[in-house]
Amino acid sequence: VERMPAIEIEHLNKRYGATEAVRDVSFAVEPAEIFGILGPNGAGKTTTVECVAALRTPDSGSIRVLGRDPRDRALRALVGVQLQESGLQDKLTVQEALELYAACYREPADWRALAAGLGLTDRLGTRYAKLSGGQKQRLSIALALIGDPRLVILDELSTGLDPRGRRDVWALVAGLRERGVTVLLVTHLTEEAARLCDRVAVFDRGEIVALDTPAALAAGHGDLDSAVISL
Ligand code: ATP
């Protein structure tokens, strides 16, 4: 039995010039937990997950991902990251992108099944440049999952998705939960956090102002929305 946290962050600090984006943030995500990060624009959510994903270097503090340094190459096969900017060539079709990414892993997930689960089957032949924003978003989620990762980092999973797309990605996260995959997800939607997450950290101005289960956070406030606004 793995007792070590999937992610352990201690006293993380990150600034951009005069902006203190993240200030003394500490939290741990347990294996198989769905952990949400909520908070207003500019609260430091993306900066925090980018440090976990080794896309940024912290100024101070420590981060362990599956017991390793975030830059450890062994994590590439174990961690899936949904990127806001895909860096994909505009001329690649959806199928070519999926096949290209799948080829990077020894035991990739079934890309056809992933595409189907994300409503992309009828877009397989479409070039990246011609996808809608929501379709690009669906593809970025598929690419995060294609290595069949143990840990998935999702930044604004359902932003820009229509109700059907939102339902699809929520079902996908529920499927990850069933398979014991750990998920760290940034969201603006309290409904999404309440539905999907075991625990939620609420960020404000670079700091964690609350951390608990959605039910405990909502207690005494009616719902999670009112609770978050009152913090
Ligand atoms: P949002 O909900 O708007 O995505 P967020 O909670 O993810 O916000 P971050 O993107 O982490 O917040 O930004 C935290 C702070 O750091 C903000 O004040 C932002 O202006 C600043 N910031 C973020 N990225 C940079 C950058 N590359 N250069 C300078 N400042 C930055």
Cα-to-chain-centroid distance, residue 18: 27
Q: According to the model, what pLDDT value does residue 2 have?
A: 54
Q: According to the model, what pLDDT value does residue 86 have?
A: 64
Q: According to the model, what pLDDT value does residue 90 have?
A: 85
User: Pick from 19, 29, 71, 59: which is nearest to 186 by CA?
Assistant: 29
Tokens of 89: 């060539």
Angle at alpha carbon of residue 189, lines to 183 and 192, rounded to 5°:
50
HSE at residue 27, side-chain half, CA atoms within 13 A, is 25
How far away, in angstroms, is 39 Cα from ligand 1 center?
A: 12
Mutation to probe ligand 1, out of 16, 48, 51 (largest number of atoms < 8 A from CB): 16
Distance between CA atoms of residues 150 and 148, nearest Å:
7
Q: Does the beta carbon of 49 lie inside 6 Å of ligand 1? A: no
Q: According to the model, what pLDDT value does residue 62 have?
A: 97
**DSSP for 146-174?**
TT--SEEEEESTTTT--HHHHHHHHHHHH
Write down the ipTM of this complex: 0.96
For the chain, how big is the Rg over CA atoms in Å? 17
pLDDT in tens, the chain (231 residues): 557 999 999 999 999 999 999 999 999 999 999 999 999 999 999 999 999 999 999 999 999 999 999 999 999 889 999 876 667 788 899 999 999 999 989 899 999 999 998 899 999 999 999 998 888 888 999 999 999 999 999 998 888 888 888 888 899 899 899 989 999 999 989 999 999 999 999 999 999 999 999 999 988 787 888 888 888
What single DSSP character describes residue 11? E
How far away, in angstroms, is 37 Cα from ligand 1 center?
A: 14
**DSSP for 78-123?**
TEEE--SS----TT-BHHHHHHHHHTTSSS---HHHHHHHTT-GGG
Residue type, 87: G
Contact 179, 153 (CB under 8 A): no
* Residue tagged 């690419």 (tokens): 143
Contact 64, 226 (CB under 8 A): no
Contact 166, 191 (CB under 8 A): no
Distance between CA atoms of residues 194 and 149, nearest Å:
24
Tokens of 105: 């892993």
Q: Does the beta carbon of 230 lie inside 6 Å of ligand 1? A: no
From the number of C-beta atoms within 10 Å of its C-beta (0-12, 13-18, 19+), residue 108 rates as middle
Instruction: Give the atom of ligand 1 at the shortest distance from the alpha carbon of 186.
Output: 7
User: The whole model's pTM is what?
Assistant: 0.92
User: Pick from 128, 44, 54, 48: which is nearest to 86 by CA?
Assistant: 128
Q: Does the beta carbon of 44 lie inside 6 Å of ligand 1? A: yes
How far away, in angstroms, is 13 Cα from ligand 1 center?
A: 13
Q: According to the model, what pLDDT value does residue 228 have?
A: 83
Q: According to the model, what pLDDT value does residue 121 have?
A: 95
Instruction: Give the atom of ligand 1 at the shortest distance from the alpha carbon of 22.
Output: 14
